[in-house]
Copies of this chain bind each other. A is one copy, B any other.
């Protein structure tokens, strides 16, 4: 193994790319900016990534995989449906907060279609999980009957709005508990508090 380590250089590049892409978006980021942030030469970038697009896609792919992995676990940890939903929401919000830098990238996209297949899959997965939780809650009599698809869209939009706030207006962020509380009291058959 060389002292000038390849893996070390690659991770230096990845970290620099996250930072620079997050701050300037795809089009707003030049390979030279990434190179200088990583303290490496322009040409050096091309030793590890085929081109700018390859480097970018590597980043957002990893970001989504991580978020998905953590959030899907929430489902198995809960007893009741309300607890499942609350856990889902708090997992989602907390991981989003923690991975803020990675998520910032998606707010600065250069084209609609770019990496869209990765995102669509992610969105579909998330919405399916929410739908599953609501459906089960209705079946078990815990939630009042409602339009499952429509309701899960709304819940998903709250979370999506949270993500957008993360990007544009950090002081608009709310707590997971308050969020679950508002949503659940609209879902639960018997009013409680």
Interface residues of A (CB under 8 A from B): 23-28, 107-112, 116, 119-120, 123, 127, 144, 146-147, 150-151, 153-154, 156-165, 168-169, 172-175, 178-179, 181-187, 190-191, 193
9 contacts between A and B (CB under 8 A): A119-B168, A147-B178, A160-B161, A160-B164, A163-B164, A182-B186, A184-B186, A186-B186, A191-B191
Q: Copy number of this protein in the oligomer?
A: 2
Taking CB atoms, residues of chain B closer than 8 Å to A24 are 110-111
Taking CB atoms, residues of chain B closer than 8 Å to A147 are 178
Q: Give the interface SS of chain A, mostly helix, strand, loop or mixed.
A: helix
Output the least CB separation between A55 and chain B (Å).
17
Taking CB atoms, residues of chain B closer than 8 Å to A175 are 150
For residue A127, which residue of chain B has the nearest CB? Answer: B172
Output the least CB separation between A81 and chain B (Å).
16
B174 A153 Cβ-Cβ under 8 A: yes
A193 B153 Cβ-Cβ under 8 A: no
Taking CB atoms, residues of chain B closer than 8 Å to A157 are 158, 161-162, 164-165, 172, 174
Output the least CB separation between A118 and chain B (Å).
12
For residue A110, which residue of chain B has the nearest CB? Answer: B28
Taking CB atoms, residues of chain B closer than 8 Å to A169 are 119-120, 123
A178 to B152, CA, bound (A): 11
A154 B178 Cβ-Cβ under 8 A: yes
Taking CB atoms, residues of chain B closer than 8 Å to A163 are 161, 164
Q: Which of A112, A116, A159, A173 has the most CB of B within 10 A?
A: A112
Of the residues B111, B150, B174, B184, contact of A154 by C-beta under 8 Å: B174
A163 to B173, CA, bound (A): 17
Of the residues B162, B178, B193, contact of A150 by C-beta under 8 Å: B178
Taking CB atoms, residues of chain B closer than 8 Å to A127 are 172
